[in-house]
Amino acid sequence: MPKLYNYQGKRFDIKNIMGIMSKDENGNIMPIQNKDGHLEDNTGQRVNERGYTVDRNGNIIDPSNQRVLWLAKHLKNGEFPKIFPYTKFNIKQIQGEFDLDPLGNPILQRDANGYPVDNKGRRVNARGYLINLRGDIVDKNGKLMFEAVVLDAEGDIPQVFRTGLLKSDTASSLSRLMSEIVRN
């Protein structure tokens, strides 16, 4: 399996974060529940329900260096988004239409309720990304792209999607990726 990216754009190998566990006759992993009720692999390393090594806060870590790769709040049912080097993403699909100030920041208007909107009257956040009523980032078709929980304090999308590490795509690949995560 090729290396993956986390939200910060750091590459990692999935085999480095998988615990060592026995499997049942159907191939499903069998973590061990310790006396404190936590899941562990066969070596005593704490794991989550998907078998990924985690710290005491449920963040997925690389056990060789204890580096946090995924925050617990970014996981769906213990699973992290699979962002491959060939994952396609086009930032233009989630940006509103607006003018930019001399520093490159969006010049946003306000609707009657005081919410920022783009030139077409669509709700956006302070960074100019299209949003729904919950503050999740959506694409131009209104399809969920990033839940608000994965945005940074300024409302920006994860770094890996801003740095140009991923291939550009006019289709909604991230939306398909997120839908796949929810299905699994």
Whether 171 contacts 92, CB under 8 Å: no
Give the tens place of pLDDT for each residue, 14-51: 999 999 999 999 999 999 999 999 999 999 999 999 99
- Return the pLDDT at 105: 86
Dist CA 65 CA 96 (whole Å): 40
Give the tens place of pLDDT for each residue, 157-172: 999 998 877 876 544 4
Please classify residue 174 by burial: count the beta carbons closer than 10 Å to its beta carbon, then call 0-12 exposed, 13-18 middle and 19+ buried. buried
Q: What is the mean pLDDT of residues 62-85?
A: 94
- Return the pLDDT at 148: 96
Q: How confident is the model at residue 174 (pLDDT cuts 50, 70, 90)?
A: low
Dist CA 161 CA 122 (whole Å): 22
* Residues whose CB falls within 8 Å of the CB of residue 112, separated by 6 or more in sequence, listed in order: none
Dist CA 120 CA 140 (whole Å): 11
DSSP 179: H
Asked whether the CA dihedral 38, 39, 41, 46 is positive or negative, the reply is negative
Specify the amino acid at residue 7.
Y
CA nearest to 152, candidates 137, 166, 169: 137
- Return the pLDDT at 166: 82
Whether 124 contacts 116, CB under 8 Å: yes
